[in-house]
């Protein structure tokens, strides 16, 4: 890709509409803080549009409503503070990156799958210390850079890699091919989008390094960031594997465990957050949750 096209990509980032101030401030909140609920409530009271989004989410199918919620406090309680930032971010970002074709719908499906899987992994792991809400956000935004690269442009001297099979080294090969062709891979573009939207540095770094097998020393020494990157990587691999091989979902538990061990766990860089046998029991419910989230955000295939 020539420098002119690269400059066009940079200009596309600059021209992206900003996230609302309230959404940006929500994403900057620390979900581990004791006052997180009250902080979300205070933000909702500042912005009627934000309030309506939360109430709409609380009454959607994904939250299995028994009766309609009309108040903001009850809406936040129903959704749960462990999920609210991710769901609001999903809605806000979907309004920026509106899926106009099947490729973009597929990108959104993958983003939501990785987000849900990352959150489930964060809840299940005892090896990593990861906040599930932040894990969801990292999964949601990890491939944002792909939305501004039309059809993953690989020039004529580079063959575009086929679907990834969940192996981290193949993902690395894809990144390198993309960078060779465009001078800017989607992870770097995604980082610049995060900066454009003034997202926390932690999220910017996860997006920047989510395809790195070997992390820079400063990132590797920041356990919170390193653990979020690794969770996102494994969630990414799982999403890709089961998208390419959906038939595995119908296998018995022992076969699913074996498939996960061969195609995801053994290919994972370093110690995985969960073992294959534990992961096998989580696959069906988290795949169902992801599909419900995709349907709720109208990201279903046309």
- pLDDT the model gives residue 107: 92
**pTM for this entry:** 0.82
Domains of the chain: 3-18+100-296 (1.10.3210)
Asked if residues 147 and 141 have their Cβ atoms less than 8 Å apart, the reply is: no
Asked if residues 242 and 215 have their Cβ atoms less than 8 Å apart, the reply is: no
Give the whole-angstrom CA distance, residue 232 versus residue 250: 25
- pLDDT the model gives residue 227: 95
- pLDDT the model gives residue 1: 46
Give the whole-angstrom CA distance, residue 143 versus residue 133: 18
CA atoms lying within 13 Å on the CB side of residue 266 = 8
The pLDDT tens digits of the residues spanning 142-193 come to 999 999 886 644 333 333 344 444 454 555 565 556 665 556 688 989 999 9
- pLDDT the model gives residue 230: 94
Give the whole-angstrom CA distance, residue 22 versus residue 44: 8
Q: For the chain, which ranges sit under pLDDT 50?
A: 1, 152-166, 168, 300-302
């Amino acid at each position: 890709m020539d420098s002119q096209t690269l400059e066009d990509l940079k200009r596309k980032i600059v021209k992206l509409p900003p996230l609302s101030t309230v959404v940006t401030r929500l994403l900057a909140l620390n979900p581990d803080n004791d006052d997180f609920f009250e902080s979300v409530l205070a933000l909702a009271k500042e912005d009627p549009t934000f309030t309506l989004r939360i109430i709409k989410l609380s009454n959607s199918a994904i939250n299995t409503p028994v009766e309609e919620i009309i108040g903001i406090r009850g809406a936040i309680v129903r959704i749960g503070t462990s999920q609210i930032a991710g769901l609001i971010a999903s809605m806000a970002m979907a309004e920026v990156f509106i899926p106009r074709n099947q490729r973009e719908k597929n990108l959104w499906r993958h983003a939501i799958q990785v987000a849900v899987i990352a959150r489930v992994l964060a809840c299940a792991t005892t090896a990593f210390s990861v906040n599930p809400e932040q894990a969801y956000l990292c999964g949601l935004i990890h491939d944002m850079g792909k939305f501004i690269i039309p059809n993953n442009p690989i020039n004529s001297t580079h063959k575009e890699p086929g679907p990834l099979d969940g192996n981290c080294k193949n993902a690395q090969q894809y990144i390198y091919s993309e960078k060779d062709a465009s001078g800017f891979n989607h992870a770097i573009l995604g980082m610049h989008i995060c900066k454009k939207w003034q997202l926390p540095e932690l999220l910017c770094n996860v997006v920047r390094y989510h395809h790195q097998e070997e992390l820079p020393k400063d990132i590797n020494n920041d356990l919170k960031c390193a653990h979020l990157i690794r969770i996102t990587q494994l969630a990414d691999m799982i999403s890709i594997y089961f998208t390419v091989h959906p038939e595995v979902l119908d296998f018995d538990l022992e076969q699913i465990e074996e498939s996960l061990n061969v195609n995801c766990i053994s290919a994972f860089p370093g110690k995985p957050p969960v073992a294959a046998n534990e992961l096998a029991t989580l696959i069906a419910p988290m795949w169902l949750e992801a599909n419900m989230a995709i349907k709720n955000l109208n990201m279903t295939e046309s």
